[in-house]
Amino acid sequence: MNKYESKTDRPVLFISGGLLVAFVVASFINLDFVANMVDWAFAFAVKYFGAFWQLLLLGTFFIALFLAFSKYGKIRLGGMNKPEIGYFKWLAMIMTTLLAGGGVFWAAAEPMYHFLDRPPLFTGVESATESAIIPAFSQSYLHWGFLAWSILGTLGTIVLMYAHYSKGMPLKPRTLLYPILGEKIMRKSALGTTIDAFSIIAVAAGTIGPIGFLGLQAAYGMEALYGVPNTLMTQILIIIGVVAIATVSAVTGLRKGIQFLSNLNVIITLILMVAILILGPGGFIINTFISSSGVHLQEFFGMATFRGDSSWLGSWTIFFWGWFLGYGPMMAIFIATITRGRTIRELVLAVSITAPIVTAFWFTTVGGAGIFYEMAQPGVISEALNTSGMPAAMIAITEQLPLNVIVGPLFLLVTILFVVTTGDSMAYTISVAITGDGHPPKVMRVFWAVIMGAVASVLLMISEGGVEAIQSFIVVTAIPVSLLLLPTFWAAPKAAKLLYAEQFGEEAPAENVEVNLADIKAENETVQNKINEIKTS
């Protein structure tokens, strides 16, 4: 039971909401100035934090694996003896929340980008040839694989579930520091407020970007498939529809709307995957997946620690790491609310192993079909990609498939659902972080769903450059968040030791308990008074 009263943290709400509004107002006044400032801050983040982020993700992955396969792996989290949510539903909510726009558009476009312009680590490979296929997918697997998933739901989730369900701490980003700093981090303080506010800003920016790009991308798809004019009004109407669905889903909560949409999203994705394997180049996709997985594992450390081309790193690896880091604390909160009753081993295997493998196969299915058709007819996919960007790649691929009149609309639907499930889950999780309660007020959930859609719409009204600016802003907000996630290297193993002692009876290490001298003095006085009473009587 949470021993801290659940209530709206007004300073965190005003700071996080206020800075987002300030970003939009400044963009209205002078978008070029905002874009230049964000570009400068982005370059600063890449230059001075890029290497740190690479090591941070590597460390998180391997510490999580150690906990999972050590004796601590059998610890059950959340104070329950069996899982609260079934495995498929649980994994579906985790996967659809992270993938967002990456679920379709990056799956279609990123392998093609790396195929047309091979990653710098793979020297000696000629771009746009058969030899570039495996490196293209190996690099994509790194960006959406083991490291990316681990930073989102392993060490941070373990810390939060220990602090919340065992010690009654609220579900807030600052709680990640509880095993190290004790209860003093929960008090009203500049440090705690800053941690919560910047974590909310980072995940809001990371969600606003995909919502804005969905407006652009879905409008392009509607025009290509149905002839609907691709105008600003179409884009905004799409965002309004997405926000309306996300709002209803967030209000109905984890067990209804969010769970239903996540399951629907995964089912349609599986149908599309099977359809492409049967109707498209199934043999090529399977062979590419197996070969690319081998090269990915072989070159894993080289790709994960590559520091040779700063410009390329800033556009790809470091950009993705910043984006995912920004989601780190909030995804940890979200996963903590749906993981009760599961063991540390189940959590790590699902998030760090199963989800990355499924993601890699999905990327190979969609992107592999694109590269197959591009190899057969150069330009059939790449021209659309280079001319009109990521949404064009998806449409170009579906046009090459049999039954494209059915497959095309299903791809458009699943793309919208990926972003909706991210929007509803993050509106819910931000509300949890502000109130510290696993069941935040519905009005709070509605507010954040609407405000993220409104910001995305306003940025589109300014120009596409507004949405692009907030995409870069995501990486900037990851700087303070990454500093918050670093202590989980120590906090998660410490939480695991304490939980192991509780569940299996070993002597527990000393916790970081703050001593209140005034309370001790008062207790001593009470005891002395009792002694005096006894003597008198």
**pLDDT at position 513:** 43
What is the mean pLDDT of the segment spanning 135-157? Answer: 96
CA angle 417/419/423 to nearest 5° reads 115
- pLDDT band at residue 228 using 50, 70 and 90 as cut-offs: very high
Tokens in use for 457? 């719409």
Q: What is d(CA 437, CA 5) in angstroms, rounded to the nearest whole number?
A: 9
Residue scoring higher pLDDT (5 or 431): 431
Task: Classify 530 as helix, strand or coil.
Answer: helix
| DSSP category for residue 17 | H
pLDDT at 262: 87
Provide the percentage of residues in the chain whose pLDDT is more than 70: 91
Q: Each residue of 232-253: pLDDT tens digit?
A: 899 999 999 999 998 888 888 7
> Nearest CA to 261 among 242, 236, 275, 276?
242
In the predicted model, is pLDDT for residue 329 greater than 70? yes
From 57-71, 385-399, 456-470, the region with the lowest mean pLDDT: 456-470
| Contact (Cβ atoms closer than 8 angstroms) between residue 272 and residue 414 | yes
The average pLDDT across 82-86 equals 92
Asked whether the predicted pLDDT for residue 463 surpasses 90, the reply is no
Report d(CA 369, CA 145) in Å as an integer. Answer: 20
465 pLDDT tier (thresholds 50, 70, 90): low
Q: What is the pLDDT of residues 398-414, one digit of tens each?
A: 999 988 889 989 988 88
By mean pLDDT, which of 42-51, 144-153, 252-261, 390-399 is the weakest?
252-261
pLDDT at residue 70 in the model: 97
Distance of CA 372 to the CA centre of its chain: 30
pLDDT at 260 over 90: no
Please check the confidence at residue 515 and state whether its pLDDT lies above 50: no
Specify the amino acid at residue 72.
Answer: Y
pLDDT band at 5 (very low <50, low <70, confident <90, very high): low
Q: Give the relative orientation of helices 317-338 and 31-69 as an angle to the nearest 10 degrees.
A: 60
| Higher pLDDT among residues 505 and 398, named by residue | 398
Confidence of residue 1 (pLDDT cuts 50, 70, 90): very low
Mean pLDDT of the chain: 88
- Helix ranges (DSSP H) in 463-516: 464-485, 488-504
Amino acid of residue 301: F
The whole-angstrom separation of Cα 470 and Cα 24 is 10
- pLDDT at 66 (0 to 100): 98
Mean per-residue pLDDT, 299-319: 94
Tokens at 107, concatenated:
């799956």
pLDDT at 486 exceeding the cut of 70: yes
